A and B are shown apart, each in its own frame.
Chain A
Amino acid sequence: MVPSSEKSIGLAGVDAHQRSKRPTIPQLFGVFLYIGATSFGGGVVAYLREHLVERQKWLDPDHFLASLEIGETVPGLISTNVAVIVGGRLRGVLGSVAAVLGMTFPGALGVLLLGLLYARFRGNPEVGATLSGIGAAAVGLIFAVTLQIGFREMKHWRDVAILVPTFILVGIIHVSLLPVLVVLAPIAVQLNHPSKKELSAYHAQQATYHAQLAEHHQEVSTRHAGGEMGS
């Protein structure tokens, strides 16, 4: 397990300075368990940032942002995705497993206990009334989150042209998600396809990068050869 996690650190580009702050698996599990047990009210991502970047300093803000970007793009819960990616960056596969288990276990246990209580007291009108209030507040919460992301991301008519059919198909007429995504995702990406200019700039940049890399390799091997001759 150790070699594979070493390799993943190298791939993630964490520098030597960060390597010294690399947590052990139990440390990683402990911190995620703490986050999982204290992050009430949704918004787990904010708790993750607070602990991983500010308190433990295992990640710098840029690394955290990059992990968040991936977590928002791939399917699944954003919080568990970020846990997987951060755990993997710090400690490979075992790190991912420890992070997700730690983060979900307390809440899963708590919610099961609440479920048992619910089954017992469901008929009680006071419990029903309290849950109705909580449910209404929860809708207000996810609506606010949706609006905040919406205001941030909706910049163009194209975005509305994709958002409205998505909402009508899934929200109103209950078409299954799979066909909706299979049809709409390629259209949405195509509508946002990079311009020729962007693509050629990117390819030019890649070419320069590879040329520089080759030059660098050349230089290193020359220096090595030179060093051996000198010694």
Chain B
Amino acid sequence: MNKLVSLVNVFALLSILAVGGGTAVLPQMKHEAVIQHHWVTAEQFADIYSLGQLAPGPNMNMVAIIGYKVAGLAGAILVLIAFYLPSCTLAFAVGKVWDHFEGSPWRDAVQRGMAPITIGLMLSGVYAIGRTATFNLDHSARHNLITVAISALVTLTLLLRHVNPALLILIGGAVGWFALRMM
């Protein structure tokens, strides 16, 4: 019971704090799940995030796995509700009043002001996952070389070409299976 309450508390707060999308709350989610509550290890968190990339739909559905691991199916369902309901309610309310501020210079100021915060938070999210998945001092130099190469090539490809990201994720998995399994 206690576990369910802390799951709901953590993910409902993350829902409201996710300024600029799911990546923005990855550092805090990792901190809460790994260090505060010991729900998963850092390695498992990175693995669960990877699994999230393999399923269709919003890539933060992976929060369900954390809920499931802590408290079974009830945990998974509650975490999904806690993570989606608060921000969705807010989005619904703002969607209703947004048109009233059409052309308001203050609306533009909020948008312009929030943009760099959003990008700073996204970079923090990339860094939080990257420290485990791309460059990890617990792994061998060869392992790091390969994961850094995969990340860099995916980034470059996406910046230069229009490719379906799902394809690159699958290729990354295949390269990992081929090059990293002997270690």
Contact = CB atoms under 8 A, between A and B. Distances in A.
B168 A133 contact: no
A177 B25 contact: yes
Contact of B18 (A75, A125, A140, A160): A75
Given A138-B133, A142-B125, A154-B116, A177 B17 contact: yes
Contact of A84 (B46, B88, B120): B88
Contact of A129 (B20, B21, B180): B180
A103 interface: yes
Contacts of B117: 162-163, 166, 181, 184-185, 188
A61 interface: no
Contacts of B130: 139, 143
Contact of A112 (B13, B64, B114, B174): B64
Contact of A138 (B53, B90, B103, B146): B53
A114 interface: yes
Interface string B40-66: 000000111111111111111110110
A139 B58 contact: no
A158 B119 CA distance: 13
Given A100-B84, A170-B27, A141 B56 contact: no
Nearest to A158: B116
B20 A133 contact: no
A142 B58 CA distance: 13
A15 to B, nearest CB: 14
A48 to B, nearest CB: 11
The interface centre, meaning the residue of B68, B109, B152, B172 with most chain A CB atoms within 10 A of its CB, is B172
Nearest to B88: A84
Interface of B is mostly: helix
Interface in A21-51: 35-44
**For A74, A76, A194, A199, which residue has the most chain B Cβ atoms within 10 angstroms?**
A76
Contact of A74 (B23, B91, B113): B91
Interface string A188-217: 111111110011001001000000000000
A195 to B, nearest CB: 8
Contacts of B28: 170, 176-177
Given A37-B57, A139-B151, A174 B31 contact: yes
Interface of B: 13, 15-25, 27-28, 31, 46-62, 64-65, 68-69, 76, 80, 84, 86-88, 90-92, 94-96, 98-99, 103-106, 108-130, 132-134, 143, 146-148, 150-155, 158-159, 164-169, 171-177, 179-181, 183
20 contacts: A41-B165, A70-B98, A75-B87, A80-B84, A84-B95, A108-B80, A114-B55, A128-B181, A131-B47, A133-B175, A133-B180, A135-B134, A141-B154, A144-B154, A158-B116, A159-B115, A171-B125, A188-B114, A192-B112, A193-B106
